Chain A
Amino acid sequence: MTKRVVVDPVTRIEGHLRVEAMLDDTNHIQDAMSSGTMWRGIEVILQGRDPRDAWAFTERICGVCTTVHALASVRAVENALGIQVPPNADVIRNIMFLTQYIQDHVIHFYHLHALDWVDVVSALKADPAATSALAQKVSPKWPLASPGYFADVAGTVKKFVESGQLGIFQNAYWGHPAYKLPPEANLMAVAHYLEALKWQKEIIKIHTVFGGKNPHPNYLVGGVPSAIAMQSDNAINMERLNLIGGLIPQAINIVENLYLPDLLAVASFYPEWTKIGGGLGNYMSYGDLPQNGIGDIAKFRIPRGIILNKNLAEVLPVDLADPAQIQEEIAHSWYQYPGGQSALHPYDGVTEPRYTGPQPPYQELDETKAYSWLKSPRWKGNAMEVGPLSRMLVGFASGRTDYKEVVTEALGQLKVGPEALFSTLGRTAARGLETQLCANWLEAEFDQLVSNLKNGDSTTADTRSWSPETWKSESKGYGFSEAPRGSLCHWVHIKDQKIANYQIVVPSTWNASPRDAKGQHGAYESALLGTPMADPKRPLEILRTIHSFDPCLACASHVIGPHGEKLAEIIVR
């Protein structure tokens, strides 16, 4: 007989997600449902507004992946208005992009995902001296590894537990049979949870320098808002550059000597998770980090492409402008399309919310009906996975040396082949390997900025098309990005200086989507199939796989305007 396990809320994510899993007699997941349970309507709100303001509204779609929607939005408006931003603007945007990736990925590993693998209570049994020895073996270059340091951390944990107030650690899955780390590894991970928490607020200061604040730094259509003037004490100058220059080596140190060694150490205790959680086997990346303007896709640091059915021998092209490629389906979503249409390209998107689920409070959803506020985007009818694993696979399969190097080295250390990447652990490892690339790219982009300044170029904005009076009466454009969680695109239609329509297809919508009309699962659902659960009442295994995607539901559960207009064609530069 089938058992149904409900996990709602799925915690340690952004937003509101519900997962229902159907288990067979041996407690293996037979079927699964992923339901987004929030909806805010940002695109409806955008209609009629000044397109130069859209970045600020869309940035508020998510404060965890803050900046990603702002970036996609300014790119969409610039695409529509025919603005080419100055090279410094691209470089500064890349610096902010990479800062976001590094901070976000590190937080995800330590603060959102680690507790799926690390048993905090077990850390109480650790011997500080043995933990010190382990830490020095795992990462010889990380300085905070003395027995005294770990004794101190152990003391903090002990005091906390003995207070009887366990706060965020209470009623969790400590002692669950699926936890495999020895006490010393658990103590080391707890110490590093705290170190990473202290550090993440430092690297993000790069956003504050250029954007004035974080979360939600400021962006600008046509460039970046922060002027550069080396002879001014009231603009980006030597002091500001030095601030950034000091933070980058810290980031590289954290990634190379804390995050990656911890990731590989934890992974080595969970070899079975290289065979669980693979899911769809279809991977997509739009590409990002322009080196010669957003139009020169071939020069992106993050390559664009599609891999189908785990076939690393072939990378297929993806075209955001082709209406036949990306379509959103609503067969199992709480929306309706006019005239009974089943799938629409975002440019043609018309979505009207129509809640047909059970009135709350409810016990379970019905997988044969609509069950989510997320739609089901598909590429040529295929369900796709997006995110770090997709990008690493596209980079690897495209033959990029930098990608191949980090992937090959990590696989070698774990003594597994490339097939291990198609798994929950592969997804988690890919995020760490990507962060390693990003830390080095961050340094390179910063060097590029300094080099531009040395060559006399300090321009940060192109204001020729700033004034709405200069705009055509009607224009359309799209702006894409690879957000930390995957492929993101905004589509904008500007008419009479106002937003006529605005549409967004978000990474977590790809990953967390419900079934489509053909019954194809979304990436989360597919990845859960076949997973064995040791104790269905304590759904640790479900959390592992879902967290490996780094869900962001505020992003995913967007809506396209109820009065969306059909747009004839996309402008591609």
Chain B
Amino acid sequence: MTACMGLESTMVPRVVAAMETKPRIPVLWLHGLECTCCSESFIRSSHPITQDVVFNMISLDYDDTLQAAAGEQCEEIRDKIMKDYKGRYLLAVEGNAPTKDGGVYCTVGGRSFLDILKETAEGAKAIVAWGSCAANGCVQNAHPNPTGAEPIKRIISHKPIINVPGCPPIAEVMTGVLTYMLTFDQLPELDRNGRPKMFYGQRIHDKCYRRPFFDAGQYVEAWDDDGARKGWCLYKMGCRGPTTYNSCSTVKWNNGVSFPIGSGHPCMGCSEENFWDNGPFYQRLSSIPVPGIDSTPDTVGKTLVTLTGIGVAAHLGSYWIRRATRKELPGSATSATEKPAEKEKP
């Protein structure tokens, strides 16, 4: 846990003491329109292990995926916690709310999820928006968004919201955000998109172990080609690492076993807003050279991929200038997958 949070090992006793002496904070974990991948990711956490989080650190009082009670007994718990711990419980939201047609596209206990979300948010100390559904809208919010699914930040405005995007977020990022709040009794520092800077502060590309291949102009050109077998850069296969702010290339997945690029598939940018409409996924990012290659999320991550694309292109342009011996921009060589950049919704 401390390693995950970037703390020295001397911090361990302090963290443990903080966990053991406080009463556990009640957490109401709601599920809206979602696929439960966030819960599944959460239970994969290796440090801390899920058992410790759920039974020793928080009081997971409502979570319809894991809780024993159902129906009325389940809803009674939510009512009770909202009343007994008003202003003192944490609301965790997985999924989002359909806003069309009076919210009929997601109901729980005969009530619209939209109503339940608003009601539960009212007395919450803060809201953790798990995953891209809650943070950004994700797949059901993709064009044409048939149910009017909207992320939490567009529904709730008067509460602190910590967005933890990703489809799903990395397990240790989820538990890392929670344990940070519990240990330091404060919200993590957030970027302009409401994401904790401790996990979403830098682009995957900037920390990618395949980055030297990008700089050297060595790319995978086709699946299972020589470059793929040597683990070269996946930029030409559509990698979104250059525009994606996440910890995949540092924390990695499933206790550090790998991450998408490490297993030969491009990053799809699943923690970025509108990533589903920033496709096709296997089309490489556009290249429009402009200055500002070391852009931060605050300067380029303005949710519009066209803008973040500019950052990549500029980055490439700069690279090209440094490597004046080459005549073409990396990636401009023709390949079967390459197509002119286009930005349209299907």
Contact = CB atoms under 8 A, between A and B. Distances in A.
B13 interface: no
Nearest to A334: B104
B146 A201 contact: no
A560 to B, nearest CB: 12
Contacts of B255: 201, 205
Contacts of B59: 165-167
A63 B168 contact: yes
Nearest to B141: A45
A278 interface: no
Interface string A112-143: 00010000100000000000000000000000
Contacts of A201: 43-46, 49-50, 171, 254-255
Interface string A198-233: 101100110111111111111010110111110011
Contact of B74 (A171, A209, A355): A171
Contacts of A543: 70
Contacts of A226: 263-265
Interface in B157-192: 167-168, 170-171
Given A40-B149, A461-B223, A173 B49 contact: no
Given A167-B55, A172-B73, A232-B230, A115 B68 contact: yes
A460 interface: yes
Interface stretch (A54-62, A318-326, A388-396): A54-62
A170 interface: yes
Nearest to B220: A227
Given A56-B281, A213-B254, A229-B230, A40 B33 contact: yes
Interface stretch (B107-115, B193-201, B301-309, B325-333): B107-115
Interface stretch (A253-261, A265-273, A356-364, A407-415): A356-364
Interface string A335-358: 000000000000000000101010
Contacts of A77: none
B261 interface: yes
A197 B254 CA distance: 14
A359 B258 contact: no
B71 A223 contact: no
B12 interface: no
Given A8-B71, A11-B70, A498-B346, A204 B44 contact: yes
B254 A40 contact: no
B51 A170 contact: no
Interface string A508-539: 00000000000000000000000000000111
B38 interface: yes
Q: From A18, A63, A66, A212, name the one whose CB has the most chain B CB atoms within 10 angstroms.
A: A212
Contacts of B107: 16, 18, 37-38, 360
Contacts of B228: 227, 235
Contact of A215 (B41, B261, B276): B41
A222 B223 contact: yes
A172 B66 CA distance: 12
Q: From B41, B71, B101, B228, name the one whose CB has the most chain A CB atoms within 10 angstroms.
A: B71
B293 interface: no
Interface stretch (B23-31, B121-129, B314-322): B23-31
A171 B76 contact: yes
Contacts of B142: 45, 57
A198 B49 contact: yes
Contact of A40 (B31, B140, B168): B140
B263 A215 contact: no
Nearest to A50: B280
B259 A214 contact: no
Contact of B110 (A166, A232, A361): A361
B24 A165 contact: yes
B70 A39 contact: no
Nearest to A243: B257
A39 B44 contact: no
Contact of A205 (B24, B167, B257): B257
B106 interface: yes
A384 interface: no
A149 interface: no
Contacts of B268: 56
Interface in B4-54: 23-24, 26, 31, 33-41, 43-46, 49-51, 54
B273 interface: no
B36 A463 contact: no
A94 to B, nearest CB: 17
B55 A14 contact: no
A363 B70 CA distance: 16
Interface in B91-115: 98, 101-112, 115
Given A50-B279, A172-B69, A215-B168, A15 B36 contact: yes
A63 B35 contact: yes
A440 interface: no
A111 interface: yes
A235 B23 contact: no
Q: From B58, B109, B171, B264, name the one whose CB has the most chain A CB atoms within 10 angstroms.
A: B264
A53 interface: yes
A7 interface: yes
Contact of A209 (B70, B138, B144, B257): B257
A276 to B, nearest CB: 18
Q: From A201, A204, A229, name the one whose CB has the most chain B CB atoms within 10 angstroms.
A: A201
Contact of A12 (B54, B55, B65): B65
A14 B254 contact: no
B169 to A, nearest CB: 10
Given A50-B280, A52-B280, A11 B140 contact: no
Contacts of A11: 64-71, 74
B147 A232 contact: no
B36 A554 contact: yes
A225 B40 CA distance: 23
Contacts of A66: 35, 37, 40
B268 to A, nearest CB: 6
Contacts of B324: none
Contacts of B72: 6, 537
B68 A225 contact: no
A44 B144 contact: yes
Given A44-B146, A120-B68, A360-B115, A220 B46 contact: no
Contacts of B230: 229, 232, 234-235
Contacts of A37: 106-108
A50 B278 CA distance: 12
Contact of B31 (A16, A198, A362): A16
A40 B139 contact: yes
B110 A360 contact: yes
Given A40-B149, A243-B257, A16 B106 contact: yes
A111 B66 contact: yes
Given A11-B71, A42-B140, 14 more contacts: A6-B110, A50-B281, A56-B281, A60-B37, A169-B68, A200-B44, A201-B49, A208-B258, A213-B253, A218-B260, A218-B265, A225-B263, A363-B110, A461-B223
Interface of B: 23-24, 26, 31, 33-41, 43-46, 49-51, 54-55, 58-61, 63-77, 98, 101-112, 115, 138-140, 142-147, 149, 167-168, 170-171, 222-224, 228-231, 248, 253-255, 257-265, 268, 270, 276, 279-282, 336-337, 346
9 contacts: A40-B105, A42-B140, A45-B139, A160-B55, A225-B265, A232-B231, A234-B230, A360-B111, A467-B337
Q: Give the top 4 A-B pairs by smallest Cβ distance, nearest first.
A: A63-B37, A234-B231, A48-B346, A41-B146
